[in-house]
C-alpha cells in the first residue's frame, strides 16, 4: 500500500525556496506518512523510526542526506498546503481500500469543541467574532478510519460538503448513512450513481428513508 503512495507525493506543492532545500519534499512526506501509519505520532519517534528503518526507506527514495531532524520535519510539514496534502492523502487512502458489500459509511457534521469560546461565538462579525469550526466527515466503523473530511463555515453548509465527500470515496456496494440534513434528492442521486445504498433520517417524523440503486421515490 505504501508503494502506491509514491506517485501521489508530487501533488503537494513544494513550499520552500529551491536554493535552500537539503531534503526533498517527497522523502519527508514518504517517511513521515510511513511512520505515522505505523503508529508513531511524535517528531522524535518519526526520526527514530526513520533511522532504524533507513534501509527499508531507501528502497523507495535515495535519502542521500540521511533522515531529517525532528526540527526539519516539523518545520517543513507546517509549511505545506494543508488542502493539497489532504486531497492527496484522501485519494491515496481511498484507492487502496476495497469495501465488503454492505459496509456502512456514516456521514456526519460535528462542531469542533473548544475551537471558539462561547463569548467569541456570541460576538458580532463587525466586532471580530470567531465562529466555532464545523467539520463534515465520512467515518467507516469497520476500518476505524475517517475516509474524508471537510471544513465548513456553519452547520447549514453540510449540504454543500456532502457531495464533495461522496466524490472522494469509492462507494460501490456500501451503505451510506446520513442524518436529516442530507435528505436531498441530489445527494441521493449521487449515492445511487456510485452504486451504493443509503439510510437517511427524516426531519420531524423521526423515520428513516432506505433505498439505493434505482429507488429514491420516498423523497
- Read off the CATH number of the domain in which 196 is found: 3.90.350.10
Residue 218 lies in a domain: no
Q: Is the pLDDT of residue 175 over 60?
A: yes
Reading across the β-sheet that carries 104-111, which strands appear in turn? 145-152, 134-140, 104-111, 175-178, 197-201, 208-212
Pair 73, 162 in one domain: no
Q: Is the pLDDT of residue 119 over 60?
A: no
Give the side-chain half-sphere CA count within 13 A for 208. Answer: 9
The domain containing residue 56 runs over which residues? 2-94
Q: Are the C-beta atoms of residues 192 and 213 closer than 8 Å to each other?
A: yes
Pair 113, 57 in one domain: no
What average pLDDT score do residues 194-198 get?
A: 93
Pair 85, 66 in one domain: yes
Instruction: Please state, rounded to an integer, the average pLDDT across all residues of the chain.
Output: 82
Number of independent structural domains in the chain: 2
Pair 55, 106 in one domain: no
What average pLDDT score do residues 78-85 get?
A: 90
Residue 62 lies in a domain: yes
Q: Quick check: pTM over 0.85? A: no
C-alpha cell at 36: 505515522
Pair 112, 181 in one domain: yes
Residue 59 lies in a domain: yes
Q: Is the pLDDT of residue 214 over 70?
A: no
Residue 84 lies in a domain: yes
Pair 65, 148 in one domain: no
Amino acid at each position: 500500500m505504501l508503494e502506491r503512495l509514491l506517485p501521489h507525493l508530487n501533488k503537494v506543492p513544494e513550499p520552500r525556496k529551491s536554493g535552500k532545500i537539503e531534503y526533498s519534499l517527497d522523502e519527508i512526506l514518504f517517511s513521515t506518512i510511513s511512520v505515522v501509519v505505523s503508529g508513531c505520532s511524535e517528531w522524535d519517534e518519526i526520526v527514530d523510526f526513520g533511522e532504524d528503518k533507513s534501509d527499508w526507506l531507501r528502497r523507495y527514495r535515495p535519502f542521500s542526506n540521511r533522515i531529517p531532524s525532528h526540527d526539519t520535519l516539523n518545520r517543513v510539514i507546517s509549511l505545506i498546503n494543508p488542502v493539497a496534502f489532504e486531497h492527496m492523502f484522501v485519494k491515496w487512502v481511498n484507492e487502496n481500500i476495497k469495501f465488503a458489500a454492505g459496509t456502512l459509511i456514516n456521514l456526519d457534521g460535528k462542531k469542533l469543541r473548544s475551537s471558539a469560546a462561547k463569548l467569541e461565538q456570541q460576538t458580532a462579525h463587525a466586532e471580530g467574532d470567531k465562529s466555532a469550526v464545523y467539520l463534515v466527515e465520512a467515518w467507516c466503523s469497520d476500518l476505524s478510519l475517517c475516509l474524508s473530511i471537510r471544513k465548513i463555515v456553519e452547520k447549514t453548509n453540510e449540504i454543500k460538503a456532502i457531495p464533495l465527500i461522496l466524490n472522494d470515496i469509492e462507494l460501490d456496494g456500501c451503505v451510506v448513512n446520513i442524518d436529516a440534513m442530507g435528505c436531498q434528492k441530489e445527494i441521493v442521486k449521487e449515492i445511487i450513481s456510485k452504486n451504493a445504498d443509503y439510510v437517511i433520517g427524516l426531519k420531524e417524523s423521526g423515520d428513516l428513508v432506505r433505498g439505493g440503486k434505482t429507488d429514491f421515490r420516498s423523497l
